[in-house]
A and B are shown apart, each in its own frame.
Chain A
Amino acid sequence: MTQLILEQALNGLQFGLMLFLLAAGLTLVFGIMDMINLAHGSLYMVGAYLAAAAVAASGSFVVGVLLAVAGTAVLGALLEMTVLRRLYTRDHLSQVLATFALILIANEAVRMVWGDQPALLNPPDALSGPVELGGFSYPAFRLLIIAVGTVVALLLYWVVACTRVGMWVRAGASNREMTEALGINVKRLFTLVFAAGAGLCALAGAMLGPLLAVQVGMGESILILAFVVIVIGGIGSIRGALVGSLLVGVVDTLGRALLPWLLRSFLPGEVAANLGPALAAILIYLLMAAVLFWRPAGLFPARG
């Protein structure tokens, strides 16, 4: 039993760290520009497809992933400069409409280039097996995801919390006009943030690609989770995004594994079999509703 819990906790950590890569970009976009970007999930999808193509072409997982991250970052910067930049001053409804349109276009573009079939993205051969981990075996590739996720999360945290660029970003998130008045080029800063966010999306897409399927529509399902994360954490806060991601990742994964089993211990079998998965699936939304109910601005509000 403890083994199962430990394994599921590791899975939750791994999923949470990947969610953080997605949520980090989204929360900054949201926080600095007050912009709802539904198309964030499309960048994740495009990143995964680019990774699949680049890995197949180069034969190396590492090279493929790096190429995909760079390619998606460039794409993100282009997207920001051509379309999204014109939406910052518009209301939320226009932003929802425009980025919804971008999702449709991105999905169709991927279909045109790569077809309807899911793309194949395999983990590197060296990491395809399990490793012994003090009594139980755990897939090596998942460990790699945890390692990469931790390193990137720490790096990002360091950049945002300890460097000058990070200071500008935080300043932009808490008060954009004041930051501009102090002579920071928020416009250029934002293109940079957006490109970085797109790159992180691609990294998450490439790392999760071998576990989940690389297919059209993969962005939409995870986008909602990323939104849940940033709302729980507080929009615009990197620390909130990190805490929110880990919370959502662990609660979701552990809930799915343990809840049906827990219910079975005090409910009749049939009811538990029905209720367990249902309750597990809505657990994170309950969490979000509860957070919003008691702390309507999230756990770590960025704007004070």
Chain B
Amino acid sequence: MGGALYRQSAQRRWAALALLAGLTVLPLLLQAVGHEFYVSFVSRLLIFALAATSLNFVVGFGGMIAFGHAAFFGAGAYTVAILMENGISSALVAWPLAIAVAALLALGIGLVSLRTRGVYFIMITLAFAQMIYYLFISLKAWGGDDGLSLASRSTLGSLPLSNDAVFYWVVLACLAATLLLLDRITHARFGRVLQAIRENESRMEALGYPVHSYKLLCFVIGGALAGLAGALIANHGQLASPSLLQWTQSGTLLVMVIVGGVGALYGGVVGAATLLLLEEVLSHFTHHWHAALGLALLFVVFRAPHGIAPWFHRRFSRSKKNEAPRE
């Protein structure tokens, strides 16, 4: 059993490396076949994958159903845009600041919200996100309804970020680093405690763990990573739009997580890829692709209740012999 587990994790590492290698050469391949414009689409996909992954850390590992993740996503985007407006365009300054602002926001919101649980937690995170949303659309100095556009992309040393392929590689590096970080966190003591809290909060409390602080830190890490995704999305479209802060954005991210697989490391990536690819493909076939997307989501709810990533995983492991039965 232990051997099988080891083999499995080694296999997964190889699969991840192969996928990373494939994604790294993707812009070159797309250029070779003359479809460069898809580079920008895949960049967007990877940024949403990052945002969904950050939410999945909160939902899947921390066990907190947060319905206001757009607040941190948007805060990151607006931080970059506002700094750019004031003449600070260096990514080395702006992006860490975006992460810091999102983390601080998450700290504040988390401190209050974590007093509640269950449905009330869902609703209070939503309320805070709505406050941020309305704050930004009514502040005319920061673009109001129109959002704040960026004069150019951030500058990162001598890297030409205005080149879509270069920007893509930076995004890919951010996503890979985030996944690696979260993989380490979930296997470290902190991650183990967090997952134990998710499974049985009162028991962990009885064992003397500061449950509240653990959950708060998890919430802040999730918010900070969403801030990074926000900084990237603002650079991607050169716009910090209030729609990034809207509750439907929180809903979309949550849907990505659920579709991909709650609590699966790659759940956010799989979910974002599934949703955005479906959107892209369906919109080619029919004007009414929203309805088709809705039907696809209903399929996931009733046929793959634990999300697509575990669904594939189960398919994959079922075909192998000598596998311990799964529930």
Give A residues with C-beta under 8 Å from B: 30, 36, 38, 83, 86-87, 90, 92-94, 96-98, 100-105, 107-109, 111-112, 220, 224, 227-228, 231, 235, 274, 277-278, 281-282, 285-286, 288-289, 292-293, 296-297
Contact = CB atoms under 8 A, between A and B. Distances in A.
B60 to A, nearest CB: 10
A93 B307 CA distance: 11
Nearest to B298: A101
A289 B127 contact: yes
B20 interface: no
A93 B258 contact: yes
Question: For B123, B138, B254, which residue has the most chain A Cβ atoms within 10 angstroms?
Answer: B123
Interface stretch (B90-98, B99-107, B214-222, B287-295): B287-295
Nearest to A102: B294
B302 A97 contact: no
Contact of A288 (B127, B135, B138): B127
A274 B122 CA distance: 30
Closest 9 CB pairs of A and B: A104-B294, A108-B291, A101-B297, A281-B134, A278-B138, A105-B294, A101-B294, A282-B131, A285-B127
Contacts of B123: 227-228, 231, 288, 292
21 contacts: A38-B251, A86-B302, A92-B118, A92-B122, A93-B254, A93-B262, A97-B259, A100-B251, A101-B293, A101-B295, A101-B301, A102-B298, A105-B290, A224-B130, A231-B120, A231-B123, A235-B119, A274-B138, A278-B139, A289-B128, A293-B115
Nearest to A86: B302
Interface string B132-163: 00110111110000000000000000000000
Interface residues of B, number: 45
Contacts of B298: 83, 98, 101-102, 105
**DSSP majority for the A interface?**
helix
Contacts of A83: 298
A109 B288 CA distance: 9
Given A231-B119, A288-B127, 7 more contacts: A83-B298, A92-B119, A111-B288, A112-B291, A274-B140, A281-B134, A285-B127
Contacts of B293: 101, 104
A94 B305 contact: yes
B282 to A, nearest CB: 11
B254 A96 contact: yes
B130 A285 contact: yes
B57 interface: no
A26 B139 CA distance: 33
A278 B288 contact: no
A98 B118 CA distance: 18
Nearest to B259: A97
B139 A224 contact: no
Contacts of B255: 96-97, 100
A282 B291 contact: no
B247 interface: yes
B258 A94 contact: yes
Interface of B: 59, 65, 67, 112, 115-116, 118-120, 122-124, 126-128, 130-131, 134-135, 137-141, 247-248, 251, 254-255, 258-259, 262, 288, 290-291, 293-298, 300-302, 305
B161 to A, nearest CB: 32
Nearest to B293: A104
A109 B131 contact: no
A108 B138 contact: no
Nearest to A104: B294
Contact of B122 (A36, A86, A105): A36
A112 B139 contact: no
Contact of B258 (A87, A97, A104): A97
Nearest to A105: B294
Contacts of B137: 281
Contacts of A100: 251, 255, 297
Nearest to B140: A274
A292 B140 contact: no
A97 B116 contact: no
A224 B67 CA distance: 12
Nearest to A227: B123
B128 A285 contact: yes
A264 B198 CA distance: 48
A286 B131 contact: yes
A83 B294 CA distance: 13
A278 B305 CA distance: 40
Contacts of A36: 119, 122
Contacts of B135: 278, 281-282
B301 A94 contact: yes
Contact of B130 (A87, A101, A282, A292): A282
A296 B124 CA distance: 10
Contact of B65 (A92, A224, A296): A92
Contacts of B124: 231, 288-289, 292
B119 A90 contact: no
Contacts of A293: 112, 115
A231 B295 CA distance: 30
B288 to A, nearest CB: 5
B247 A112 contact: no
B131 A285 contact: yes
A90 B141 contact: no
A96 B247 CA distance: 13
Contacts of A30: 119
Contacts of A274: 138-141
Contacts of A286: 131
Contacts of B248: 220
